[in-house]
Amino acid sequence: MKKPIIKTTLLTIFFFSLIISCKVKKQYNTFSKKTENTILIFSKTNGYRHKSITEGITAIKKLGQENGWKTDTTEDSLQFNYQNLKKYKTLVFLNTTGNVLNNQQEKDFEKYINEGGGFVGIHAATDTEYDWPFYEQMIGAQFKSHPKQQKATLKVNKESNHAAIAHYNDTFEVFDEWYNFKKPAAKHVNVLLELDETSYSGKRMGTKHAISWYHHFQGGRIFYTGMGHTKEAYTNTDFLQHLKEGILWTIKEKNVAIDKNGEDLLDSNLSKWDVWIGAVHPSVDINFEKSKDVTKGKPMGLNNDP
């Protein structure tokens, strides 16, 4: 008498397994190669507005025409709903500033990245969304200040093997607005370009000063360049090549060659590791500025050790 019950149970489990498997497969293929190469250029500002945004949009659209991807542009945050975002291989934040998305739009953005979407941040993309921990960790650094616009020497990390810097010499000089960040770029990013702080004047970070990087983050591909303040940047063929290859990598048309011998992540000072600290246990007696947050269960977060 028990056999039909067992058989029915097994069939039920099998049926629901098929449903789950179909859903997972559909999620996994959200940004497969079959998806059309369409990118969304987002240039909303709730702070300083760069005069070069129009030139930036024109240049990226032209790159799209030359390289076979379609471009849409918007400054409407309502476009940041998941049903719309999943149409795009990559989102380009072109000199965005301030808080540009609400809480629900942030959640849809996170889902987009988690399911394999790409992100390209240009210049002031690091001057955006200061109160959103996911964004801070994804983009890798947050803007603090800058000296006057001027020429500086950039050092190229050829060991990264990324196509976005393959056309540059070991060092090169360029005019732009050079950002200082609140902290050095997060250790989980792969640095492509670094500023030589002895090559320009004004307030500097006084440490290794990354200015362009890439990394994989929670399912998505992330590329950032600190260049792109001036109108002239968007007619500079070297910068446009740098930007083009960054976009191509995020839409998965290009990959980065990995060293066959791998990479040693266990050097003596764990220099390639980030520090993430959870909430302090209520039993711990602490007395520092953020104690009110952590005693209520809020994590200290990424690279924020007091």
pLDDT of residue 219: 96
Spatial contact of 202 and 180, defined as CB atoms under 8 Å apart: no
pLDDT of residue 289: 55
pLDDT of residue 224: 98
Number of domains in the chain: 2
What are φ and ψ of residue 208, in 5° steps?
Answer: -60, 130
- Identify whether residues 111 and 221 lie together within a single domain: yes
Q: Which helix (H) or strand (E) holds 74?
A: strand 70-74
Q: Is residue 258 part of a domain?
A: no
Q: Which helix (H) or strand (E) holds 292?
A: helix 291-295
pLDDT of residue 260: 75
pLDDT of residue 294: 57
- Identify whether residues 199 and 111 lie together within a single domain: yes
pLDDT of residue 18: 41
Range of the domain at 117: 38-250
State whether the Cα torsion 128-133-138-140 is positive or negative: positive
pLDDT of residue 61: 98
- Identify whether residues 238 and 279 lie together within a single domain: no
Classify strands 90-94 and 143-145 as parallel, antiparallel or unpaired.
Answer: unpaired
Q: Is residue 93 part of a domain?
A: yes
CATH number, residue 189:
3.40.50.880
Spans of the chain, pLDDT less than 50: 1-29, 32-34
Q: Is residue 270 part of a domain?
A: no
User: Structure tokens of 123?
Assistant: 């210049």
- Identify whether residues 144 and 193 lie together within a single domain: yes
- Identify whether residues 151 and 282 lie together within a single domain: no
User: Structure tokens of 76?
Assistant: 């409407």
- DSSP annotation of 246: H
Q: Is residue 267 part of a domain?
A: no
Q: Is residue 21 part of a domain?
A: no
- Identify whether residues 306 and 243 lie together within a single domain: no
- Identify whether residues 243 and 287 lie together within a single domain: no
Collect all residues with Cβ–Cβ distance below 8 Å to 4 and sequence separation of at least 6.
none
- Identify whether residues 63 and 172 lie together within a single domain: yes
- Identify whether residues 104 and 144 lie together within a single domain: yes
